[in-house]
Chain A
Amino acid sequence: AQSVTQPDIHITVSEGASLELRCNYSYGATPYLFWYVQSPGQGLQLLLKYFSGDTLVQGIKGFEAEFKRSQSSFNLRKPSVHWSDAAEYFCAVAYTNAGKSTFGDGTTLTVKP
């Protein structure tokens, strides 16, 4: 069965520091990968997606993610974190031959001033 693992439940970084949130997926087929962000009291918003092609994808709000098939990973990065980036981040995977997308458990990001 398809699954998504976000190993870090909670991450704290200082404002201006770089950020990397980890995501690993498990399945044999070619995945479609997504990162979503959820601010407190809000619904989820798509940050970026990978379908095919260039393995480094750019998203909104200065985020990027790199697909590494050999590591089954799709880690989210940002070179310099802003206080407004404090939120919960979800990685998700979908497949054309599956009936649904699968979401990870989320990583909560806290930004220190």
Chain B
Amino acid sequence: DSGVTQTPKHLITATGQRVTLRCSPRSGDLSVYWYQQSLDQGLQFLIQYYNGEERAKGNILERFSAQQFPDLHSELNLSSLELGDSALYFCASSPHGSYNEQFFGPGTRLTVL
């Protein structure tokens, strides 16, 4: 158990809908990262937050957004969902900046029908 929790574990929804994925980092960790993992794209970095502020952006679509709250939990919002958004979404946390090892949550499996 990494100490990172993600909810929900599974999510099934329809095209065009909007969903919110939630992540609670390890106690004391200030950075939260979001990744998308799919069979054809592999593990793709989406975005990083550090102590409430956006720190780095990767291959995140405009339909996707994220935020980190004062209690350091984070949410990833996915809107206007398409079939291709079906994937595993991982959250990871680290104590400080990007040079720390990351601790990964178990992931949320999103299925868009």
Q: Does A44 contact B (CB under 8 A)?
A: yes
Interface size class of B (residues with CB under 8 A): 20 to 34
Q: Are B101 and A46 in contact (CB under 8 A)?
A: yes
Known interface pairs A100-B48, A100-B58; A94-B43 also in contact (CB < 8 Å): no
Q: Does A103 contact B (CB under 8 A)?
A: yes
Tell me the smallest distance from the CB of B87 to a CB of chain A, in Å: 14
Q: Does B42 contact A (CB under 8 A)?
A: yes
Q: Does A83 contact B (CB under 8 A)?
A: no
Q: Does A60 contact B (CB under 8 A)?
A: no
Q: Are B42 and A105 in contact (CB under 8 A)?
A: yes
Q: Which residue of chain B has its CB nearest to the CB of A96? A: B99
Q: Are A90 and B102 in contact (CB under 8 A)?
A: no
Q: Are B90 and A43 in contact (CB under 8 A)?
A: yes
Q: Are B55 and A99 in contact (CB under 8 A)?
A: yes
B42, B102, B103, B106: the one within 8 Å of A106 (CB) = B42
Q: Does A27 contact B (CB under 8 A)?
A: no
Interface size class of A (residues with CB under 8 A): 20 to 34
Q: Are A95 and B104 in contact (CB under 8 A)?
A: no
Complex-state Cα separation, A32 to B98, whole angstroms: 9
Q: Are A43 and B55 in contact (CB under 8 A)?
A: no
Q: Are A34 and B101 in contact (CB under 8 A)?
A: yes
Q: Are B98 and A101 in contact (CB under 8 A)?
A: yes
14 of the cross-chain contacts (CB-CB < 8 Å) are A32-B99, A36-B104, A43-B106, A45-B2, A46-B103, A49-B101, A92-B102, A94-B98, A99-B57, A99-B98, A100-B58, A102-B45, A105-B43, A106-B42
Extra contacts, 16 of them, besides A43-B2, A45-B104, A100-B98 (Cβ < 8 A), are A36-B104, A43-B4, A43-B104, A43-B105, A44-B92, A44-B102, A46-B101, A46-B103, A51-B99, A94-B98, A96-B98, A99-B56, A99-B57, A100-B48, A100-B55, A101-B99
Closest 7 CB pairs of A and B: A99-B56, A43-B104, A100-B56, A44-B104, A32-B99, A94-B99, A94-B98
